[in-house]
Chains A and B, each alone.
Chain A
Amino acid sequence: MGVPAFFRWLSRKYASIVVHCLEEKSKECNGVRIPVDTSKPNPNEVEFDNLYLDMNGIIHPCTHPEDKAAPKNEDEMMVAIFEYMDRLFNIVRPRRVLYMAIDGVAPRAKMNQQRSRRFRASKEGAELTEEKAKMREEVIQRGGYLPPDEIKERFDSNCITPGTEFMDNLAQCLRYYVSERLSNDPGWTNITVILSDASVPGEGEHKIMDYIRRQRAQPHHDPNTHHCLCGADADLIMLGLATHEPNFTIIREEFKPNKPRPCALCGQMGHEIKECQGTAREKQGEHDQFADTMPGSEQEFIFIRLCVLREYLEKELTMASLPFPFDFERSVDDWVFMCFFVGNDFLPHLPSLEIREGAIDRLVGIYKDVVHKTGGYLTHNGFVDLERVELIMQAVGVAEDNIFKKRKDDDEGFKRRMKEKKKRLKAERPPAYLTGGQFAPQALGGRNRPEAVQNARHQAFDMRMQHNQAGGPSGAQEARGMKRKAEDSDSEPEPEDVVRLWEDGWKQRYYKTKFDVDATDEDFKKKVVRSYVEGLCWVLRYYYQGCASWKWYFPFHYAPFASDFKDIKGMFSDFEKDTKPFKPLEQLMGVFPAASGNFLPGTWRELMSSPESPIIDFYPDDFALDLNGKKYAWQGVALLPFVDERRLRAALADVYPDLSQEEARRNSLGSDMLFVKKSHPLCDFIKELYLAESQEPTEMPAELCHGIQGTLTLDGDPILPDKPVQSPIPLLRDIMTNSAIGAKFLDPQFANDFVFKAILLPKAKMPAPVLKPGDWEAGNRGSWRPQLGFNSNRQQAHLNQSAFRTLGHATGRSHGGQYSNAPPPGNYQDKYRGQPYRGGSQPSYPHSREQSLLGAPPRMNQFPRGGRHGWNQATQDQRSTFQQQMNRADSRGGMGSYNQHHNQRNDDYRNPRGGQQQQGYNPARSYPPPPEPRRYNRN
Chain B
Amino acid sequence: MAEERRGEDIVSEYLGQNPHLAQWVESFRGYCETNKQWSARREFILRNMEAFPTIEPGIPSSSLDRLLSLSMVWANNVFLGCRYPQAVMDKIKDMGQGIVVEDAPVRSTRDEIIAKGKRSTSSGPDGDNCVKKAKVGPNDGDGRPAGKAAARPACQKPGPSPQAPAQHQPFFNRLYKAVAWKLVSAGGFGPNLDHYEILQSCVESCKQSLSCVFVPLKDIPDLPASRVQKEGQVCELRCSTVYMGTGYGRDESAARAMASKEALKAFQGRKVTVKICRRRYNGTDVEDVMLLDDQPRSQGFPPALSYPFQADSGEDGAS
Contacts and interface: CB of A to CB of B under 8 A. Distances in A.
Interface string B100-125: 00000101111101100100101111
A476 to B, nearest CB: 5
A480 B201 CA distance: 9
Given A138-B253, A470-B187, A555-B32, A633 B192 contact: no
A555 B70 contact: no
A264 to B, nearest CB: 15
A472 B194 contact: yes
A451 interface: no
A594 B83 CA distance: 12
B81 interface: yes
Nearest to B85: A621
A186 interface: no
Interface in A477-514: 477, 480-481, 485, 492, 513
A644 B72 CA distance: 10
Nearest to A627: B113
B65 interface: yes
Contacts of A556: 32
B32 A633 contact: no
Interface in B167-212: 182, 185-188, 190, 192-194, 197-198, 201
Contacts of B188: 468
A639 B73 CA distance: 13
Nearest to B191: A471
A556 B30 CA distance: 11
A189 to B, nearest CB: 52
Main secondary structure of the interface of B (DSSP, over half): helix
Nearest to B120: A492
Contact of A476 (B85, B114, B185, B254): B185
A27 to B, nearest CB: 46
B31 to A, nearest CB: 5
A609 B85 contact: yes
Contact of A616 (B73, B185, B190): B73
Contacts of B30: 555, 642, 644
A612 interface: yes
B107 A477 contact: no
Interface stretch (A48-56, A391-399, A647-655, A847-855): A647-655
A141 B249 contact: yes
A769 to B, nearest CB: 49
Interface in A602-660: 609, 611-617, 619-627, 633, 636, 638-642, 644, 647, 650-651, 654
B164 interface: no
B82 A623 contact: yes
Contacts of B34: 515-517, 521, 524
B110 A616 contact: no
A636 B116 CA distance: 15
A743 to B, nearest CB: 44
Interface string A440-483: 00000000000000000000000000011111110111001100
Contact of B108 (A616, A621, A624, A640): A624
A109 to B, nearest CB: 14
Residue in A137, A476, A521, A624 with the greatest tally of chain B CB atoms within 10 Å: A624
Contacts of A647: 65, 68-69
A765 interface: no
A82 to B, nearest CB: 36
A120 interface: yes
A123 B115 CA distance: 13
Contacts of B62: 614, 650-651, 654
Given A471-B192, A639-B107, A650 B85 contact: no
A470 to B, nearest CB: 6
B251 A639 contact: no
A638 B73 CA distance: 16
B36 interface: yes
Contacts of A254: none
Contact of B187 (A467, A531, A617): A467
A471 B195 CA distance: 8
B111 A138 contact: no
B84 A616 contact: yes
B59 to A, nearest CB: 13
Contacts of A274: 122
Contacts of A481: 123-124
A594 B88 CA distance: 13
Contacts of B20: none
B5 interface: no
A469 B83 contact: no
Contact of A626 (B31, B72, B107, B254): B107
B76 to A, nearest CB: 5
Contact of A620 (B84, B190, B192, B197): B84
Contacts of B114: 127, 633
Contacts of B120: 492
A621 B83 contact: yes
Interface string A51-95: 000000000000000000000000000000000000000000000
Contacts of A913: none
Contact of B80 (A615, A623, A651): A623
Interface in A509-533: 513, 515-517, 521, 524, 527, 531
B91 interface: yes
Nearest to A625: B110
Interface string A585-609: 0000000001000000000000001
A480 B197 CA distance: 11
Interface string A235-259: 0000000000000000000000000
B35 interface: yes
B60 interface: yes
B250 interface: yes
Contacts of A654: 62
Given A623-B82, A624-B110, A625-B113, A485 B87 contact: no
Contacts of B152: none
Nearest to B67: A614
A797 B194 CA distance: 60
A614 B192 contact: no
A650 B80 CA distance: 25
Contacts of A626: 107
Given A485-B123, A650-B62, A622 B83 contact: yes
A475 B122 contact: no
Contacts of A485: 123
A625 B87 contact: no
A137 B192 contact: no
A468 B108 CA distance: 44
Contacts of B186: 468, 470-471, 475-477
Nearest to A615: B69
B79 A516 contact: yes
Nearest to A480: B201
Contacts of A594: 85
Contacts of B197: 471, 473, 477
B271 interface: no
A137 B250 CA distance: 9
B37 interface: yes
A473 B257 CA distance: 13
Given A638-B110, A650-B62, 5 more contacts: A138-B253, A141-B251, A472-B194, A521-B35, A616-B73
User: Which 4 pairs from chain A and chain B are nearest by CB?
Assistant: A468-B187, A624-B81, A624-B107, A617-B72
16 contacts: A138-B251, A138-B253, A141-B249, A470-B186, A477-B186, A480-B201, A485-B123, A556-B32, A614-B66, A616-B88, A617-B84, A621-B85, A622-B109, A625-B108, A650-B60, A651-B62
Interface of A: 120, 123, 127, 134, 137-138, 141, 274, 467-473, 475-477, 480-481, 485, 492, 513, 515-517, 521, 524, 527, 531, 555-556, 594, 609, 611-617, 619-627, 633, 636, 638-642, 644, 647, 650-651, 654
Interface of B: 30-32, 34-37, 60, 62, 65-66, 68-70, 72-73, 76, 79-85, 87-88, 91, 105, 107-111, 113-114, 117, 120, 122-125, 182, 185-188, 190, 192-194, 197-198, 201, 249-251, 253-254
